[in-house]
Structure 1
Amino acid sequence: MTDKSNQAADFSLILASSVHDMKNSLGMLLNSLEEIIRDTPPQNEKQSEQFGVLQYEAARINTELIQLLSIYRMQHNRMPVQVDEHYPIETLEEQIARNHMLFEMHGLNVEVDCDEDLYWYYDSELVGGVVHNILVNGARYSKESMKMSAIVEDDQLVITIEDDGAGYPQFMLGALDQSFKQSVSFSEGSTHLGLYFAQQTAEMHKRGEVQGRIELCNGGSLGGGVFKIYLP
């Protein structure tokens, strides 16, 4: 290995360690922010809006740090899929509970439609992370409602997250591998890291020749964006 390769590997490790530390610090900041909001509820609409922005931005940054760390581990084969039996309704409700303060600040109603007896085999931490990211983004773009559902379709678990916002841009509704490349804009802070993480998570779930995937469309029961993840 050349000196440059060694330097790149060292920097990659340092960056991953730094992201891990930042993630932990931001997690503590989020917990403190929630305590402040609970102890000092907003007194007017402007204050409520400011708290909502703080909550959303902190949650978004924390989520992206977690995704960066996860993608680093995936690419270095340090994050094997831990597939086990899980109840999708529990995975979905855990993410609602995790973000309840965020939804409250934005005045969002989040509905869950899932058979309580439905179970499937998947990595609950990775899939939960995907759901969490979509919900955090939904808190920004939805007007007042979001809906999550899970069903089995063609021998695959399909988790769907819908919102009543403006929907996904047209260029993102085609082949997702191309949309990632076309939609990255550092000047606008638009890298779609969450969708890349979702795609990687889906593809890590396989059964025979069938591989997981994600799908974006507009419409659905709420008329906005519709995100789907298929898990064989």
Structure 2
Amino acid sequence: MPENKKSFEINSVIDEQSIDFSFVIASAVHDMKNSLGMLLHSLDELRQEYAETLPNSSRFNTLQYETERVHSDLVQLLGLYRLGEKTLSAHTEEHFVPDFLSEQLARHQPLLNGHDIQYNIESGDINGFFDKDLLTGVLNNTINNAIRYTRGKILFTADQRGDYLVIGVEDDGEGYPSHMQEAGATLPGALNFANGSTSLGLYFASSVARLHREGDRSGFIKLHNQGQLGGGVFEIWLP
């Protein structure tokens, strides 16, 4: 075997062994997320262009919902990768909560209307300190889940409870099963891939909540069924 060929093969093996596949996967996920973001933008434009027909198309609404759901999953995966790499942190700023909730609603409003879902916001004129981008990622997933399980009503709430800002998303569906309410802040070891319930969104939400700290207090999430609509209630508590 020629010496230069042997050297090339040895170097190839070394290069393959040094590849950080978690970084490769994260880079691929990032590219997919951006592509889906462009697709969602195109779907919004199509909905406006064919406003007389597409909003009533169940197939188009399903396409937009599933695209939004996968996009949200990819955002969460990237967040969890950064969390594992210890590069994810909460950059808190003051926000007027009713305006923030209105922005979240506006993003999902075409899909809500397409599925004939009634929605409302109940919030006092309060301010909160939180990372807007991280909380948007949490609420995108929560709203998508509410759209999936609701019978036809969704409620967004926000209020001040003691030293915490509590933002909630309620629906009138079947509600959370008892084991999910008890788990609350799902740990990675509790993810159940066998039954298709990874609870990725809950783990991401819990992680984002914990990144918000004030003194010795940190954020957390709660799941229960004691809401105004009789279905599931997701709450994120931020100090």
TM-score w.r.t. the length of structure 1 is 0.89
Are the counterparts in 2 of residues 42 and 48 from structure 1 also a CA contact under 8 Å? no
Distance in 2, matches of 1:186 and 1:40, equals 41
The Cα of 1:183 is off from its aligned counterpart by 5.1
Structure 1 167/180 Cα, relative in aligned 2: closer, same or farther at 3 Å?
farther
Partner of residue 206, structure 1? 213
Aligned twin of 2:59: 50
How far apart, in 2, do the equivalents of 1:130 and 1:99 lie?
14
Q: Which residue of 2 aligns with 1:11?
A: 21
Q: Is the 8 A contact 1:92 1:128 kept in 2?
A: no
Match of 1:96 in 2: 105
Specify the alignment match of 2:229 in structure 1: 222
Cα distance in 2 for partners of 1:109, 1:21 equals: 34
Structure 1 segment 108-123 matched on structure 2, within 5 A: 108-116=117-125, 118-123=126-131
Note the C-alpha offset of 1:220: 0.8
Distance in 2, matches of 1:184 and 1:205, equals 27
Residue 225 of structure 2 aligns to a residue whose secondary structure is: strand
Q: Which amino acid aligns with 1:129?
A: G
Structural mapping, 1:1-232, within 5 Å: 7=17, 10-41=20-51, 43=53, 48-116=57-125, 118-177=126-185, 181-182=189-190, 184-185=192-193, 188=196, 190-232=197-239
Change (3 A) 1:178 1:156: closer
Unaligned regions of 5+ residues in structure 2, if any?
1-12
User: Contact between 2:54 and 2:60, CA under 8 Å: does it hold in 1?
Assistant: no
Q: 2-side partners of 1:167 and 1:42: how far apart?
A: 34
Structure 1 residue runs of 5 or longer lacking an equivalent are none
Match of 2:3 in 1: none
Deviation string for 1:165-196 (max 9, x for gaps)?
111122101033467644522563x2121111
Alpha-carbon distance change, 186 to 90 in structure 1, aligned in 2, over 3 angstroms: farther
% identity of equivalent residues: 40
| Counterpart contact for 1:171–1:179, Cα < 8 Å | no
Letter of the aligned partner of 1:96 in structure 2? L
Alpha-carbon distance in 2 for matches of 1:103, 1:207: 35
- 8 Å contact kept, 1:215–1:228: yes
After TM superposition, the structure 1 stretch with the greater mean CA deviation from structure 2, 70-79 or 53-62, is: 70-79
Once the 2 structures are TM-superposed, how far is the Cα of residue 40 of structure 1 from its aligned partner? 2.5
User: Bigger CA drift: 205-214 or 57-66?
Assistant: 205-214
Q: Report the CA distance shift for 1:221/1:180 in structure 2 as closer, same or farther (over 3 A).
A: farther
Partner amino acid, structure 2, of 1:169: P
Q: Letter of the aligned partner of 1:165 in structure 2?
A: G
Is the 1:84–1:122 Cα contact (8 Å) retained in structure 2?
yes
Q: In 1, are the aligned partners of 2:186 and 2:202 still within 8 Å (CA)? A: no
TM normalised by structure 2 equals: 0.86
Cα-Cα RMSD: 2.3
Q: How many residues align?
A: 226
What is the deviation of 1:37?
2.5
Deviations 1:194-218 (A, max 9, x none): 1111000001111122111000001
CA radius of gyration, larger in: 2
